[in-house]
Structure 1
Amino acid sequence: MPKVSDWVLRKETRSSRGREAEWLPYKGLGLRLGEVVRFRSEVSLVGLAEGRKWSVRSKIGNGGHGYDEDDYLDCFGEPEKIGKIGTNIEDFKCSSLVVEALELCNEEQKKIQYEHYGKDNPADVSKIKALYHELNLQGIFFEYEAKSYDRLMSSIKAIPRKPVQAVLKSFLAKIYKRKK
């Protein structure tokens, strides 16, 4: 069985995005339980710790699931539930939603996107959100979310040690279908 040194764990923490720090205690526990968890593949499917791209390209896929979920909540989440008013549209952020919309848009819809995206005006934001509804980005996200969950659960169930499975399942339960 391969060994992962403390140096590798520290290097991974420094070299990637913040979500990796959330994952390290779970990864460390898996290692102590004698199981090497394939960090970049299984974990990246739900965006716990991945660097840039998903292992498997799917709808809404320019970031990890956690980042896409943040983008989804920023646009469609209720401010009183997520604890903030989402501003990705106004701030001209390259969110997974705008990338997916541009892939799905016809020429007329692209004109709407170019004309109204990145403007700090409620009327412009409303037009972009209406376009997202027209393109069914919520439905695409829900479909992706369910498939992502199923893939990760299959990966977790394939791990032979039940204690490691339990830890990973508990972590997945905390992040799947989160509301804020």
Structure 2
Amino acid sequence: MHTRRFDTDEIVAFYNDTAWEYRVLWSDSNLHYGFYDDDSTSHQRAMENSNSVYADKLEVDETATVLDIGTGRGGFPTRVAAEYGAEVHGIDIVPHLAHVSEFRAMLEDLGFANVTFEDHYERIIPSSRRQRWLSRAVTPLLRIASATGLKNDSSVEQGVTLYYQYEIIERGIAVHGDFTADLPE
């Protein structure tokens, strides 16, 4: 499999170039997957539900400080601040991500204890299917817009990426989940 590293300027340019597509076709406040369950069957509700699931897992209150790494548009920390009164901070640089076991080992080497990873395949696969559907519908239009100068190639690349993102999750090549750990002493 071919991998490519992107520098910070390329990443920023990508999200700037595709902001319209995300806002119109995905979500105003989130760039991540939604968590579908019996009560969250619409895309919008699944997006809200994923923020609630993460916030509930943290067990935060107004005395807590939360750092959201990879915050995107800030949907999650905004929800935590509004619902729980916690102080929140978000950063988003989108570094190269390591494999789950490598990241777990890195956290343990840094002194974190009780490191766990929860895989969210069942909850996010409906969102991924939606992305694949959007890719099939929108990518041809993006190619035309790019050819006429209305959009640039990064929008077309995003459309293609959405299609293949589903494939790599469905085949188990990539995972989506969250780590929890106790802070080092």
Per the normalisation by structure 2, the TM-score is 0.30
Which is richer in helix? 1
Which structure has the larger Rg over C-alpha atoms?
1
Which is richer in strand? 2
Per the normalisation by structure 1, the TM-score is 0.31
